[in-house]
Structures are given as structure tokens and as C-alpha cells.
Amino acid sequence: MSSLSPADGAAAIRDAVAALSRRSAIDLGELVDAASPARSAGLADKLDRIGAMPATVQPQAIAAAFDDRDLVTLDSWIRLADSATLHDDAREAAARRAIGDRLRAVRQLVAPGDAHLSVDPRDA
């Protein structure tokens, strides 16, 4: 399991969604249903609920709570964080890289170690 706590994971998701939404000219949720505000908030809410549980049951709760749809939601936000910027802006690129790294830590928390990045739903 990741060294990230469920509560920190929930905060990371909320922070990332807010930061990436401010940085993007498009609403990712309009392009990818999995990244809708409701799906993104639901993912953070699951982590909040698990974070309130005793630490001894959190790994089992995580395994039971998250499914492929949740991974698609995370992966969609990771892709947005990893996407290129329109201008050669080193600070923006560094900020996006940091956001992507935090989201990958959340993904490591909720997904099996061998779970690969899901297929982009726009390619399906």
C-alpha cells in the first residue's frame, strides 16, 4: 500500500481537480464522463470515509471500495496533468508534474501494484 493516507489521497484529488480545472480551457468532465465533478468528488468521498476507519481495516476497505471506473477517473486526471502546455512554461510544467505525481500516489493507494493505466475512454 502507498505511504499516502486515505485522507491525504482525498485532499490530493480535490486539490488536483481544482488546480487542473483552473489551468484548463476545457471542462474535462464534459469530454470524459469519468472525470465529471460527481465521479471525481465520489472518489475523494470514498477515501474520506476509509480514512475515518481504523487503520487496521483500511487496506481491506480500499480493496473493496474501488473499481475500474474509479481508476478511469484517476487516469483521466493524470492524463490531463501530464498533457503538454501550450507555451514553453517551465513553472507550469513543473506544477503539472507535481499534480500528476500526487495523483499517481493516490492511484498506487487504491489500485493493485500491477494495474496499468486504463485506456483513454475517448479512444474506445
- The residue whose grid cell reads 468521498 is 45
pLDDT in tens, 11-59: 999 999 999 888 777 777 777 788 888 999 999 999 999 999 999 999 9
Q: Are 78 and 100 in contact (CB under 8 A)?
A: yes
Angle at 109 between CA 96 and CA 124, to 5 degrees: 65
Question: What pTM does this model have?
Answer: 0.83
**What is the 3-state secondary structure of 2-23?**
CCCCHHHHHHHHHHHHHHHHHH
Q: Which three cell numbers stand for residue 20?
A: 487542473
Domain ranges of the chain: 6-112
Does an H or E element contain 96, and which?
Answer: helix 90-110
pLDDT in tens, 62-96: 999 999 889 999 999 999 898 876 667 888 889 99
**Structure confidence at residue 85 (pLDDT):** 67
pLDDT in tens, 99-121: 999 999 999 999 866 555 555 55
